[in-house]
Amino acid sequence: MSLLFNLLKSPYFTLTLVPFIWGSNFIVGKQLMETFPPFTLSAGRFGIAFLVLLPIFMYTRRKRTPEKISPKLWGILIFLGLAGTFGYASLLYSGLRQTTPVNATLINAFNPTLTILLSILFLKEKLRGKQIIGFILSFIGVIWIAVQGQFDRLASLTFNQGDMLILTAALVWAIYSVVLKPFVSEISVMDLTTLTMFFGVLALLPSAYFELKAHPILVPITWDMIIAIIYLGVFPSVVAFLLWNRGISQVGPSKAAMFYNLLPVFTAIMSYFILGEIPKGYHFIGGTLVLWGVIWGTKRYVKSPAAVAPSNSIDT
């Protein structure tokens, strides 16, 4: 048990868990999208997540003296809620309904690129040589998986409106990650995640209402669907968001973004165990490149001042 607690204290371990959990979101969410429109699915997922977080949020605030939230920070929390909860998930689900998995994976591969570029521009972060090498290796690995080991497939790819939505989602998530970093020392991870999710749900509920009026669900909702939405609310939403926000507070958005490239690797592994899709050779080659890229890009991790701030604790 002590080993598990020590692992959970490591930003490397927890940031590795995030794409693993989000990989399950892709598989489960893909099945649910056949029944639920995007805003409705997002509202159900994050509505459940907020209900899970709320009692924990209230309990932890009673156990300590909560930080004073400035008007500027309230504005940032609202923006992060609209970007990370409302914008990213809705754009991603909308895009996945209109594009292919290959296109979606290729476009998502640009997420770390966008995050690193924004971090350099606005946070003045500097990349070391090993980080650049690691980023390039990971990027090639993701592309290799997406094109199934045949780069000539890139020439035959066509892009549609769904691809633009996913590209926009990647940009929104990069902005979320970069905007988050300067403020993580002013508020705890639990408060940050709960409050941003609250503002996101406020925007999702009316959107889902009008969406259902225009496109009502015509098939019966089964218990399997309900359990799947609860799963999305608890793990990809609560657990993954808490770990991602804490990871950014400890290592910064540029390094955290490299772990995002593990998403197609974990998705392929889970597809084998859940959907029975047998991994191919390109999965192993691309996955190895991604793993080496993450290892190289995150070598010599040194705690920043933010790493010892109270906001790095999920419970405080």
Amino acid at 186: E
Residue 299: helix, strand or coil by DSSP? coil
Predicted confidence at residue 3, as pLDDT, reads 66
Question: Contact at 8 Å (CB) between 115 and 247?
Answer: no
Structure tokens that stand for 244 in this block: 């991602």
If you ran DSSP here, which 8-state letter would residue 262 be given? T
- The dihedral through the CA atoms of 141, 144, 148, 154 has a sign that is positive
* Of 5, 27, 12, 3, the residue nearest 263 (C-alpha): 27
Contacts for 4 with CB less than 8 Å, ≥ 6 apart: none
Structure tokens that stand for 22 in this block: 């989000």
251 to 15, 110, 181, 204: CA distances (angstroms): 10, 20, 10, 30
CA atoms of 194 and 54, how far apart (whole Å): 7
pLDDT digits (tens, 9 = 90+) for 86-145: 999 889 888 878 876 656 766 777 788 888 888 888 888 877 777 788 888 888 887 887
In the chain, DSSP finds a helix count (H) and a strand count (E) of 15, 0
CA atoms of 105 and 229, how far apart (whole Å): 23
Tell me which residues of the chain have a pLDDT lower than 70.
1-5, 100-103, 105-106, 157, 299-316
CA atoms of 55 and 69, how far apart (whole Å): 20
Structure tokens that stand for 266 in this block: 């974990």
Question: Contact at 8 Å (CB) between 268 and 79?
Answer: no
Q: 120-144 burial, b for 16+ CB within 10 Å, e for fewer?
A: eeeeebebeeebebbbebbbbbbbb
Question: Contact at 8 Å (CB) between 94 and 204?
Answer: no
CA atoms of 130 and 134, how far apart (whole Å): 6
Structure tokens that stand for 18 in this block: 């995030």
What pTM did the predictor assign?
0.81
222: alpha, beta or left, given left = phi > 0 and alpha = psi -120 to 50? beta
Q: Spell out the domain ranges in the chain.
A: 2-312
CA atoms of 105 and 19, how far apart (whole Å): 13
Structure tokens that stand for 36 in this block: 């639920």
Question: Contact at 8 Å (CB) between 245 and 10?
Answer: no
3-state SS, 85-117, equals HHHHHHHHHHHHCCCCHHHHHHHHCHHHHHHHH
